[in-house]
A and B are shown apart, each in its own frame.
Chain A
Amino acid sequence: MERDRLKQASAGQFLTRRLVSAVPSGLANFFLYLWIAFTLFTILWVILASFKTNQQLFENVWSLPRGLNLQSYVKAWKISKMGNYFLNSVLLITISTAGIVFVAAPAAYVLARVAFRGRQLITNVFVSGMSIPQVLLLVPMFMLLRRLLLLDKLIGVGLVYIVVNLPFTIFMLMSFFVTLPGELEEAAAIDGASAFRTFRTVMLPLAGPGISTAFIINFIWNWKEYFWPMVLISSDTKKTVSLGLYGLQGSMQYSADWVGLFAGCVIVMLPTLALYLLMSRRIMSGMTLGALKG
């Protein structure tokens, strides 16, 4: 059995053969290709459709656009104010995501690497927050922000974003911080540098990958969601881009302007897709990190 423990190679090949031999190989692969094709096709289709006119769309859903019709984008950006919402989102989400990381990283660091009384308790308090439904906080958060006069203000939404993402981000950063070499703190202490300076010059660079992953994951998540802006924002001009798309979808029904709606979709999809194309591996591992901690 010790021999087994020494070998840590991936079992992928065997897993493949064993699992797949239970199903006719050709059929399995065909299904895989179908799935991939469907996923790619639908996303590409939306992008292509946004360059059509409504006439072209209804004539033939499969046709390629005749000429690049940017009207729908102009309309979505200017008239439907997706441009404003895009700006709102960029500002809000960049700043609040930075806030999340700024608050979560130190806390995660301490919880992961410093033994003190109550550490397990505090850790559990944070982590258990992941299973609290956001919808439970709906009414109390609403009341709280009202009292603080932060209703209908993007700052309020930013604050909520920081708080609701704390549990997962701390959890994620903790699992990252435990992997860093332990001698570092001792080395720094010997040097005699102040606590913050040590953290900044020694730990932070090493923690770079984990922190940037946390930033990217939170950015994508917050960009995607529209629940809190929907609840907290009432002014038209303060909407975020996902909420704007939701509103666009509602108003599209009265104008039957599907291509305008697709243009809006593309505007919303682009940033997260772009980030994903650049760092898909990082994003995939970061988003699924939690479940791996046995």
Chain B
Amino acid sequence: MNKWLKRIIIPFLAPALALYLVFFLYPAAQSLWVSLNDWSGFTRDMRFIGLKNFQEAFKDRIFHRVLLQSVGLVAVGGVLTFVLSLFFTGLLGGKRKGKAFFRAVIFTPNVITMVALATLWGFIYNPRFGLLNNLLRLLGLKSLSDVPWMGPDLVYWSILAAVVWIYVGFYTILFMAGADKIPLAFYDAAKLEGAGSLRMFFTITFPLLWDVISMGLIYWIIDAFMQFEFYYAVSGSFPPIQIWTIPIYVVILAFGKRTPIFRMGYATAVAFFLLVMVALVVTLGRRFLRRGSVEY
């Protein structure tokens, strides 16, 4: 290996490694320490309480509820997002007029600030002036326009729908890039052997796309569990508990929203829970989904 390359290893790597160690890994490791303490973030009065925070999290009914809500987003939101994304992937594959335009439009929500999107959707669901209810009234469906979309029963699903709308764009583009790579020849060969369209989908398309889909699944799991910005901003003043995600719960525990609560130790413990859970799901997912990459 040439000398030039050897010389640059350290100076090129050093800044990134140094910053990463000091400002990322060290805080991450420190979070474990913080989670073992009771701390108001106020004065230096950190009180070591061992695993008590984790015990409390186990019994915390609000945490259970938030966890359930997050899992729901991952599962239901995931199914919806992936079905729709695959649908669009299929629809927009290959030569098609306006393909680039459609792709670009579908992806657009992903380049807009979550706050702006949250404002938009908050207005869409506004009971009196909102776009949804006004559309329903225009279509003569007045009774539907009386439904409280942001009320405690429905707000979870209303916001889930909005989140799906945002992410379908991302996953469609992702899958399309993968679909574009499947060699035409496979389909030729299959057709020669008399395979029908559906069979071709399930024996060629789906398996070869599987790599991308499974990677996408990992991405989605991480993304969905970490949802914060949209949910936090969507209802204006205070997110109702029905749309709390785990990160929201952590922030509320650490800082309060209007009423300062400041349980920083407990908040970090909950966040740590999240990390462990995500890591577990991702690891299991990777093992379960990678039935051997299909080489072609």
Contact = CB atoms under 8 A, between A and B. Distances in A.
**Physical contact A–B (CB less than 8 Å):** yes
Interface of A: 3-23, 28-29, 31-32, 35-36, 39-40, 42-43, 45-46, 57-58, 61-62, 103-104, 106-107, 109-111, 113-116, 122, 125-126, 129-144, 159-160, 162-164, 166, 170, 185-186, 188-189, 195-196, 198-199, 220, 223-227, 231, 242, 245-246, 249-250, 252-253, 258, 261-262, 265, 268-269, 272-273, 275-276, 280-281, 283-285, 287-288, 290-292, 294
Given A15-B205, A136-B31, A138-B254, A163 B19 contact: yes
Contacts of B178: 292
* Residue of A103, A131, A199 ringed by the most chain B CB atoms within 10 A: A131
B: contact size bracket? 35 or more
Contacts of A292: 174, 177-178, 212, 215
Contact of A246 (B25, B100, B233, B268): B233
Given A138-B251, A163-B24, A195-B7, A14 B94 contact: yes
Contacts of B13: 106-107, 110-111, 122
B244 interface: no
B140 interface: no
A107 B197 contact: no
Contacts of A5: 183, 185, 296
Contact of B115 (A15, A109, A226): A226
Interface of B: 1-9, 11-13, 15-17, 19-20, 23-28, 30-31, 34, 41, 86-96, 100, 102-116, 118-120, 122-124, 129-131, 134, 138, 165, 168, 170, 173-174, 177-189, 197-198, 200-201, 205, 211-212, 215-216, 218-219, 222, 225-226, 228-229, 233, 236-237, 246-247, 250-251, 254-255, 264, 267-268, 271-272, 274-275, 278-279, 282, 293, 296
A289 B7 CA distance: 30
A122 B21 CA distance: 11
A16 B105 CA distance: 19
Given A114-B9, A272-B112, 9 more contacts: A5-B183, A23-B87, A42-B120, A42-B131, A134-B247, A135-B247, A138-B250, A144-B23, A249-B118
A242 B230 CA distance: 12
Nearest to A43: B108
B9 A261 contact: no
B274 A133 contact: yes
Given A17-B197, A224-B112, A35 B106 contact: yes
B31 A140 contact: yes
A172 to B, nearest CB: 13
A24 B95 CA distance: 19
B94 A22 contact: no
Contacts of A22: 197-198, 201
B128 to A, nearest CB: 9
A185 B293 CA distance: 32
Contacts of B112: 43, 224, 269, 272-273
Contacts of B7: 195
Contact of B93 (A4, A12, A23, A250): A12
B170 A288 contact: yes
A133 B109 CA distance: 22
A15 B114 contact: no
B204 to A, nearest CB: 8
A292 B138 CA distance: 44
